């Protein structure tokens, strides 16, 4: 059985919940008292993930940290059609590029949200500006894709690159980052919300 | 903005943090009614100071611990914080869910808390579900001598009314607003027949249109883990947050006719009238002034 160490307000945990829902894979939740309890900094949790971050996923003997790594594993192991993480190196390279972006530049949106919502100590102007810069890069890319009749970040189908990038873009408003100027992003978000099995989290609405 | 000069807001007790957030010997900076304040724990005694211009400790204000939270006032309150005798019942579990900042008037938070009509749309599958969207008749009144707003005989069909609920149930509710920024609801306990669970929010108004919301639950539930209870409450409250932040005007209009009322808004209309009669200004919509607050 898959176990997901999870916090309901975490966008990174939501990446995994969303993907498990879309591929219809059952799992058991292990609720982590991230806020206000700070359970991710306890010795017991650090044994599971020395970086003190959520999510963590276990599946039999496998223990994985990092939402992007978990998506790669789940898509490879449980998506029989291999459409979410295709096997050709060209597509895999392109997906890896956007997975890295999701775990890197887009995390500025997460920082703004943690600052505005849960009292984290970030330079709010700096992280908001960096989040806007990242949103602009994604919006330009999605505009180019639309010109080429592409609906998704990579290839002709949704992939784990879309799943990884979606949450902290959709949660931008929580950190005071308006999506008003990102038209291609907003159209792409509507397409993601129409994927069968799509599921919401607090701050992300169904339509 | 600077500290408000609204006497109604000043002359009241406000919760400014839960006990888990501040350890003895440590200080915490926060903000109340436009004023920077410093909270310090000396053993188990809280002290609250205004921060002076240099960031040092200025004038000290009264402080006390109640219901797992630190309370203070920047004025001269006419009545103590609300009385909740349920906190003395030893079978109950207190779950302090921590504070969440919302860019909205504290009054908007309380009004939303009183509103059952949004359950099926905002808390879909948990506190409500279409097509059952009708709010049944209920009573709302101001109770003296405590000058508290109560809405009673409220009921709503809920798919998952609480962490301990396995199936849908018709939940009965009572809402209580003891002061403009302090409210608690009493709700059918799924685990114990005839008992109420308490869910409360102590809203700390930082500025006119920014507040910290301190949420707690006081429940009869032996089965759920503490973390499951916190996550349940976070899910509910954060479903509201983005909607609250987008409400305009930022301040709550108190004058009749500013926003259209329907029957389901009975407690909301009474809340606004009650605030108007108190003469509260802080966090309300004052026409042009609101454009600055927003």
Q: DSSP 3-state assignment of A203?
A: coil
Residue B265 has a pLDDT of 80
Between chains, do A33 and B230 touch, taking CB under 8 Å as contact? yes
Q: Is residue B44 part of a domain?
A: no
Q: Where along chain A do the CATH 1.20.1050.10 domains lie?
A: 89-193
Residue B293 has a pLDDT of 45
Q: Is residue B161 part of a domain?
A: yes
Q: Is residue B129 part of a domain?
A: yes
Sign of CA dihedral B229, B211, B102, B23: negative
B251-278 pLDDT, tens digit per residue, is: 999 976 656 656 558 899 999 999 999 9
Q: What is the mean predicted confidence (pLDDT) over A12-23?
A: 98
Q: Is residue B62 part of a domain?
A: no
CATH of the domain at B268: 3.90.380.10
Q: Where along chain A do the CATH 3.40.30.10 domains lie?
A: 2-78
A132-153 pLDDT, tens digit per residue, is: 999 999 999 999 999 999 999 9
> Under CATH, what is the fold of the domain A2-78?
Glutaredoxin (3.40.30)
B154-177 pLDDT, tens digit per residue, is: 998 888 877 777 788 888 999 999
Query: How high does pLDDT run on average in chain B?
Result: 90
Q: What is the pTM of this model?
A: 0.92
B109-158 pLDDT, tens digit per residue, is: 999 999 988 998 899 888 998 888 888 899 999 999 999 999 999 998 88
Nearest to A12 by CA among A200, A176, A167: A167
Q: Is residue B86 part of a domain?
A: yes
Residue B291 has a pLDDT of 47
Q: Is residue B48 part of a domain?
A: no
Domain that holds residue B86: 82-285
DSSP states along chain B: ------HHHHSS-EEEEEGGG--TT-EEEEEETTEEEEEEEETTEEEEEEE-TTSSEEEEE-EEEETTEEEE-SS--SSPSPP-GGGG-TT-EEEEEEEEEESS-HHHHHHHHH--TTHHHHSBTTTBBTTB-PPPP-EEEEETTTTEEEEEEEEEEETT-STT--S-EEEEEEEEEEETTEEEEEEE-SSSTT-EEEEEEEEEEEETTEEEEEEEEEE--SSS-HHHHHHHHHHHHHHHHHHHHT-SSSSBP-STTSS---GGGHHHHHHHHHHHHHT--TTB--TTHHHHH-
Provide, as residue numbers in chain A, all residues whose Cβ is less than 8 Å from the Cβ of B237: 202
Q: Is residue B145 part of a domain?
A: yes
A26-82 pLDDT, tens digit per residue, is: 999 999 999 999 999 999 999 999 999 999 999 999 999 999 999 999 999 999 999
Q: Is residue B60 part of a domain?
A: no
Q: What is the mean predicted confidence (pLDDT) over B232-249?
A: 93
Q: How many domains are there within chain B?
A: 1
Does the pLDDT value for residue B249 go beyond 50?
Answer: yes
Q: DSSP 3-state assignment of A206?
A: coil
A74: closest CA of chain B, how far (Å)? 25
> Under CATH, what is the fold of the domain A89-193?
Glutathione S-transferase Yfyf (Class Pi); Chain A, domain 2 (1.20.1050)
Residue ranges of the alpha helices (H) in chain A? 11-23, 43-48, 67-78, 89-103, 107-118, 124-147, 160-170, 183-193
> What is the share, in percent, of chain B residues with pLDDT greater than 70?
94
B85: closest CA of chain A, how far (Å)? 26
Q: How many CB contacts within 8 angstroms connect chain A with chain B?
A: 57
Candidates B17, B123, B227: best to mutate against A (most CBs of A within 10 A) is B227
Between chains, do A203 and B242 touch, taking CB under 8 Å as contact? yes
Between chains, do B101 and A36 touch, taking CB under 8 Å as contact? no
């Amino acid at each position: 059985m898959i176990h997901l160490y999870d916090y309901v307000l975490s966008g990174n945990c939501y990446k995994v919940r969303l993907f498990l829902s879309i591929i219809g894979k059952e799992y058991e939740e292990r609720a982590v008292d991230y806020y206000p309890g700070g359970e991710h900094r306890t010795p017991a949790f650090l044994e599971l993930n020395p970086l003190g971050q959520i999510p963590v996923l276990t599946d039999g003997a496998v223990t994985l940290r990092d939402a992007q790594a978990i998506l790669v594993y789940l898509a490879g192991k449980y998506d029989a059609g291999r459409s979410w993480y295709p096997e050709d190196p060209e597509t895999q390279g392109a997906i890896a590029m956007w997975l890295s972006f999701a775990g890197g530049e887009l995390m500025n949106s997460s920082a703004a949200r943690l600052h505005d919502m849960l009292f984290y100590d970030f330079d709010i102007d700096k992280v908001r500006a960096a989040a806007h810069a990242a949103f602009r890069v994604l919006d330009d890319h999605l505009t180019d894709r639309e010109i080429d009749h592409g609906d998704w970040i990579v290839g002709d189908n949704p992939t784990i690159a879309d799943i990884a990038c979606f949450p902290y873009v959709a949660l931008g408003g929580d950190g005071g980052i308006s999506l008003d100027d990102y038209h291609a992003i907003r159209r792409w978000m509507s397409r993601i919300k129409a994927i069968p099995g799509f599921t919401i989290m607090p701050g992300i609405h169904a339509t | 903005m600077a500290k408000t000069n609204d006497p109604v807001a000043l002359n009241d007790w406000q919760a400014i943090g839960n006990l888990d957030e501040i350890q003895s010997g440590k200080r915490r900076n926060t903000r109340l009614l436009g004023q920077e304040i410093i909270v310090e724990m000396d053993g188990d005694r809280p002290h609250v100071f205004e921060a002076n211009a240099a960031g040092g400790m200025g004038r000290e204000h009264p402080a006390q611990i109640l219901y797992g939270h630190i309370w203070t006032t920047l004025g001269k309150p006419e009545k103590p914080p609300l009385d909740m005798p349920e906190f003395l019942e030893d079978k109950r579990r207190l779950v302090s869910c921590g504070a969440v900042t919302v860019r909205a008037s504290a009054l908007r938070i309380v009004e939303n808390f009183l509103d059952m009509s949004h359950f099926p749309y905002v808390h879909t599958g948990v506190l409500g579900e279409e097509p059952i969207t009708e709010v049944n008749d209920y009573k709302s009144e101001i109770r003296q001598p405590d000058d508290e707003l109560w809405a009673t005989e409220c009921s709503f069909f809920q798919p998952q009314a609480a962490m301990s609920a396995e199936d849908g149930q018709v939940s009965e509710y009572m809402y209580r607003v003891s002061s403009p920024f302090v409210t608690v609801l009493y709700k059918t306990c799924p685990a114990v027949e005839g008992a109420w669970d308490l869910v409360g929010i102590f809203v700390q108004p930082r500025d006119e249109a920014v507040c910290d919301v301190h949420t707690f639950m006081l429940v009869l539930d032996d089965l759920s883990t503490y973390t499951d209870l916190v996550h349940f409450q976070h899910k509910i409250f954060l479903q509201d947050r983005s909607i609250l932040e987008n409400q305009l005007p930022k301040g709550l209009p108190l004058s009749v006719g500013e926003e259209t009322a329907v029957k389901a808004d009975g407690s909301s209309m009474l809340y606004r009238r009650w605030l108007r009669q108190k003469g509260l200004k802080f966090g309300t919509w004052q026409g042009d002034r609101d454009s600055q607050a927003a």
